[in-house]
Structure 1
């Protein structure tokens, strides 16, 4: 009888953007090699990795190079990026397990809020929690395809050589691409290009419908996240900014002299970090959309001395984009559209 392969983690939560990677590269790599060899060689007839059947393997180019032996129709995908899992679920991909990141944007299991119910309905398991890959658990999941991130807190780029020894592995950046383009790219990679077109077509129809039902603010809009000492403002190049622009809103371009160094910013063009004391001049008359905050956090921010005199606050132009708006995929983008329709309906 087959034993359980997964155990759900109940570790302490942390903000997705701040998960620290505790590198145990030497020990983990060695353990992974032993695990791959042992587990691959001792399975019974009923406990073998998924077979690709007669489907011909394909060559797929991704952000770590080109992988030659990708199954045309994978049957057991293990996602090592909680960010990418939502894209895969929207494609109805056969995801059997995912990395999770317990924290403010997830449920108690670590699934992102926007697709938590879908993952549970499809019996998606937790392969490990946190940013550091548990390679032995990945082996136990018996993937015929591994998909991971090449950017962000859940990046597995440094473990790529070990992962590709377990199963064909594809990794992708998600910080320099729209969620729509990433969905299309993943669809092409796993043989679900037609499904990707269907999903994006459905979303485009939703955008058109919402756009015809709302009256948007005439002022610039600034989607942002309050991190306490600093403010992260999402630019027109961000997934959040692009969605708002699609609906006819003009996304604020923060003057460069107000930007500050910050861990979220780096060399990225999708966010600008601003010190709290520069919030007023950085935003000017812009309306504000809070990204990834709950109601209590928004109320606290609006009551703070540097916030309460902002035109966006005094004129009730500070809006909630939703807790799930921090990481954009089909599920969260659709939810954001519903909130915007409700807020600006005419």
Structure 2
């Protein structure tokens, strides 16, 4: 399989640079990358990789009794202090404090009026508002405003919109859990842990919480159909495959995506056989309790990325430069044998929009 470029879509045609300065998360290893990325909407709570990519999770869904459109309704929240949240009426004004979750809200047509944002104008990543490129157009059409930048969450900025629902990410660099008590004084708060839910499950939950359950079902069903079509059109390479993100700091470090990551779940759904990182080179899992990535130092890259094929996620120009110059990669068999495929920058987090971009890129890479 020849080395492939990302699929030609409006977002991925734009020039890209490193993912620096996206999020203020600083784990021990891969500092530069994790400042920029926090993989989103990861594996379902059950941890099953074979089923999570193709359908929304049902084990963490909202109370089915609420799915008939009646209000009030009770939905599950991932807040440690309360397993359920009761909403008296369908939300009409939503503020998302998580730039990760905003895409899923937009996908189901929820009335989100403002969102947390990352640093603006990052090539291949964010628009002038700091919104992710994969859903930037949808946000513009809906008139979504910037509540604040991720690095400085403010309850006062949220309150000015008089929301009747606030959506908060439990984990990641766009989490506003530090100010959640202040946010609760403003409006009901729905906490979503995108580190333990598939993006489909996140979409389903947000659809139920906002009264947009039919649209959420259509979103997931639409993607299921596209995955089935892609599966018929691609040729899965022989041997195992390793999927990973390359650090943007020239260290050669990498983050291997595990079976809990949505990217690997998509690859598995398409028929790829994923390689397992040997136990003797596995580092500590990053981002708290999340198990969607395994950190590798540059010296352990080839020992950990044992797949005969490599899928490089969130591959900007800095990624390609590292792959072309750092011996951790240049001497690896998949590079020598031209068995590397690059995914768009937007694929470091998957929602309905970026999942489609990754699917397009995989179809282009492995068609025929």
Q: What is the TM-score normalised by the length of structure 1?
A: 0.81
Decide which structure has the larger Cα Rg and report it. 1
Task: Please say if residues 172 and 287 of structure 2, whose CA atoms lie closer than 8 Å, have aligned partners that are also in contact.
Answer: no
Aligned positions of 1:166-205 closer than 5 A: 166-205=186-225
Aligned mates of 1:187, 1:219 — CA distance in 2? 39
Query: How big is the alpha-carbon RMSD for the aligned residues of Structure 1 and Structure 2?
Result: 2.0
Shift of 1:313: 0.6
Is 1:87 the counterpart of 2:86 in the alignment?
Answer: no
Q: 2:271 aligns with which of 218, 240, 248?
A: 248
- Alignment partner of 1:75 out of 75, 86, 92: 92
Task: Flag structure 2 segments of 5+ consecutive residues without an equivalent.
Answer: 1-19, 28-69
> Aligned runs of 1:95-134 on 2, under 5 Å?
95-102=112-119, 104=122, 105-134=125-154
Is 2:355 the partner of 1:333? yes
What's 2:305 paired with?
Answer: 283
What's the offset of the Cα at 1:141? Answer: 1.3
* TM-fit CA distance, 1:270: 1.0
Displacement of 1:115: 0.6
Q: Does the 8 Å CA contact 2:113/2:144 hold for their aligned counterparts? A: yes
How many equivalent residue pairs? 299
Tell me, in whole angstroms, the C-alpha distance in 2 between the residues paired with 1:274 and 1:335. Answer: 26
Confirm or deny: 8 A CA contact 2:275 2:306 kept in the other structure. no
Q: Per chain length, whose mean CA-contact separation is higher, i.e. which structure has more relative contact order (CA < 8 Å, sep 6+)?
A: 2
* Structure 1 residue runs of 4 or more that deviate by more than 2 Å after TM superposition: 15-20, 55-61, 66-69, 264-268, 299-303
1:63, 1:172 within 8 Å by CA — same for their partners in 2?
yes
Q: Contact 1:236/1:252 (CA < 8 Å) preserved in 2?
A: no
Q: CA deviation at 1:164?
A: 1.2
For 2:146 and 2:358, locate their aligned partners in 1 and report how far apart those are by CA, in whole Å: 26
1:18 pairs with 2:25: yes
Unaligned runs of 5+ in 1: 1-12, 21-54
